[in-house]
Amino acid sequence: MKRFLLTTACLLMASPTLAAEIWVSNEKDDTISVIDVETLEVTRTIPTGERPRGITFNSDYSRLYICASDSDAVQVMDPVTGEILHDLPSGEDPEQFVLAPDNRHLWIANEDDAVTTVVDVETRKVVAQINVGIEPEGMAVSPDGKTVITTSETTNMAHWIDTESHQIYANSLVDARPRHAEFVNEGTELWVSAEIGGTISIFDTATQQEKAKIGFEIQGVHPDLIQPVGFEFTPDHKTAFVALGPSNHVAVIDAETLEVEGYILVGRRVWHLAFSPDHTRLFTTNGVSGDVTVIDVASRKPVKTIKVGRFPWGAAMKP
Amino acid sequence: MNNALTALIAICQRELLRFFGQRARMLAALVRPLIWLLVFAAGFRAALGLSITPPYETYITYESYIVPGLCGMILLFNGMQSSLSLVMDREMGTMRLLLTAPVPRWWLLSCKLIAGAVISVLQAYVFLAVCAMYGITFAPVSYILALPALFLTALMLGALGIALSSTVKQLENFAGVMNFVIFPMFFLSSALYPLWKMAEASALLRDICLVNPFTHGVEMIRFALYQKVDWINWAVTLVALAVFLGLALWGYNPAKRLISRKV
């Protein structure tokens, strides 16, 4: 018993107290800034390939996938050491991607080639390439893994792709320059943001028909500057936070009534968002001002802005 | 000591009675900063540009930036108004009556200063309450932490007012104080624009703002409202208070020509 207690104590002392982190890709610096969620300070800056944009962790957070757009590769990083382990064949100019629930297939939007590439992260081989609209960007996967969405910026469409047949089975028109897509409410709804259109369209997943649209209006800000890009939902899916690009604000939406409840001032050209693990804080990447604003989710107020690299773009949480 | 306390209470009561008796004064004290907040700040919302400087940790609206400066504006105008009342007291003969009190002259002036500062701080809190209704709020503890900063700034500006009032012979001359003290002090400070913005226009302008004690009073309030302290602001304000109070006492010394002729 004594030995057991001693061993347990030793083990407890040996295990490092890992704090939750927000990983941010810096598009112009070719780096990733790691922010400690507790201290709200940058603890590490890790070099990556050229022009890192979309980033995502696998389900056990043992690997980080990075869209290194100008290196024409998806890089795989060990988050503990910060070492790039290998590249995945991604097709040209990967911008955003989504990891399927099987934790194996990475669906990548190739902006310059108008294709969506499916890569098997284990065999490191391209499984399929699907022709989509011009300048694909936003990627989303349904919770059951049966449907993947690619939004194309210039064609202004959301393409519904069957993940088994790798065929597009529906196209839905969206307002100008769709940027980001998310499935909500157990996959029954699809939300798509349109950057130039300045709206978020909500589609019924069963019919692929648009059922609602949300517009934005900020007092004193020209409507042209209100450009919805990334958005995130609270775990109960009752509230959505939408990054509004060069308007320098994040909108708060009641996801049930679809009313805009308020706007939060953040840095310049806000791109994407990531929640802390307990969802009490929201981190926004502000491209032009080169920083990350931390929002207190309960009070919906910005509490701090943290300087990161040049042109922060994507954000991912690591518990 | 008993006499000293009685004098302090009596003077404070008199000032408060006078203040609450003049509803228009309270209204004017509130309307002035509110016009700046609701009209001026709204128009300049986008013009300020973005930069995070202490005590701010994130981006703020211009309305939020301007609030500490407008608190300072209230303290500045009220400090000068209190000294205006000293000129009036002297003209009306009330000051002669006051000076018959069995307490030292310096204590009488200090009482007057404290009474004026209490009223200034009260006005500043009413303004902060209106700001909260308008949507510009601070953490609850900030309102308590701001009290010493507001009070010290009010004392410093009140002492300046008293020092100036000793040189003003007639009520009519007070307009000069408005033009040559209040406006330059307010505009050449960090009340309306941050110092980095002033430096963009001219480094000299920034330096003038830096030597203006009003800037340090405003910054002290700004830092306190964000639960922070910059000791340089406290030091400059304290030194300015000591200097202005010294000048005020010197100005009201009966041995001095100006005051001995009038009182």
Instruction: Say whether residue B45 is in contact with chain A using an 8 A CB cutoff.
Output: yes
The C-alpha atoms of residue B166 and residue B106 are separated, in whole angstroms, by: 13
Q: Is residue A53 one of the residues assigned to a domain?
A: yes
| pLDDT the model gives residue B50 | 60
Neighbours of A12 (CB within 10 A): 8
Q: Is residue A96 one of the residues assigned to a domain?
A: yes
Q: Which residues pair with A148 in a beta bridge?
A: A141, A161
Percent composition of chain B: helix, strand, coil (DSSP 3-state, to 5):
80, 0, 20
Nearest Cα to Cα of residue B122 among B11, B30, B228, B214:
B30
| pLDDT the model gives residue B48 | 57
- Positive or negative: CA dihedral B235, B237, B238, B242: positive
B59/A303 Cβ within 8 A: no
CATH code assigned at A290: 2.130.10.10
pLDDT in tens, A148-183: 999 999 999 999 999 999 999 999 999 999 999 999
Nearest Cα to Cα of residue A95 among A136, A42, A49, A131:
A136
pLDDT in tens, B91-148: 777 777 777 777 787 888 888 889 889 999 999 999 999 999 988 899 999 999 999 9
For residue B57, list chain A residues with Cβ-Cβ distance below 8 A: 303-305
Instruction: Say whether residue A294 is in contact with chain B using an 8 A CB cutoff.
Output: yes
The C-alpha atoms of residue A265 and residue A279 are separated, in whole angstroms, by: 19
Q: In this model, does residue B171 exceed pLDDT 70?
A: no
Instruction: Say whether residue A267 is in contact with chain B using an 8 A CB cutoff.
Output: yes
For A257, the 3-state DSSP assignment is coil
Report the percent of chain A where pLDDT is more than 90. Answer: 84
Q: Is residue A120 one of the residues assigned to a domain?
A: yes
Report the percent of chain B where pLDDT is more than 70. Answer: 91
Cα–Cα distance list, B49 to A54, A88, A270, A311, B41 (Å) = 29, 42, 16, 18, 13
Helical axes B203-211 vs B213-225, angle rounded to 10°:
80
Q: Is residue A1 one of the residues assigned to a domain?
A: no
Q: Which range marks the domain in which residue A92 is found? A: 23-318
Mutating which of A293, A299, A307, A308 best tests the B interface, going by the most B Cβ atoms within 10 A? A293
For residue B59, list chain A residues with Cβ-Cβ distance below 8 A: 248, 265-267, 293, 302, 305
Q: Which amino acid is at A33?
A: S
Q: Is residue A87 one of the residues assigned to a domain?
A: yes
The C-alpha atoms of residue A158 and residue A208 are separated, in whole angstroms, by: 9
Q: In this model, does residue A11 exceed pLDDT 60?
A: no
pLDDT in tens, A257-280: 999 999 999 999 999 999 999 999
Can you tell me the mean pLDDT for B210-224? 94
For residue A304, list chain B residues with Cβ-Cβ distance below 8 A: 57-58
SS3 sequence of B26-64: HHHHHHHHHHHHHHHHHHCCCCCCCCCCCCCCCCCCHHH
B57/A303 Cβ within 8 A: yes
Q: Is residue A131 one of the residues assigned to a domain?
A: yes
User: How far B57 CA lies from chain A's nearest CA (Å)?
Assistant: 5
Q: Is residue A4 one of the residues assigned to a domain?
A: no
Which contiguous run of DSSP H or E holds residue A24? strand A21-26
Task: Domain count for chain A, please give it.
Answer: 1
Q: Is the pTM of this model over 0.90?
A: no
**Cβ proximity of A289 and A268 under 8 Å:** yes
Q: Is residue A10 one of the residues assigned to a domain?
A: no
pLDDT in tens, B226-235: 999 999 999 9
Cα–Cα distance list, A187 to A97, A132, A203, A208 (Å) = 18, 22, 10, 12
| pLDDT the model gives residue B101 | 72
Identify the DSSP state of A201. Answer: E
Q: Identify which of B42, B45, B59 has the shortest CB distance to residue A266.
A: B59
User: How far A309 CA lies from chain B's nearest CA (Å)?
Assistant: 16
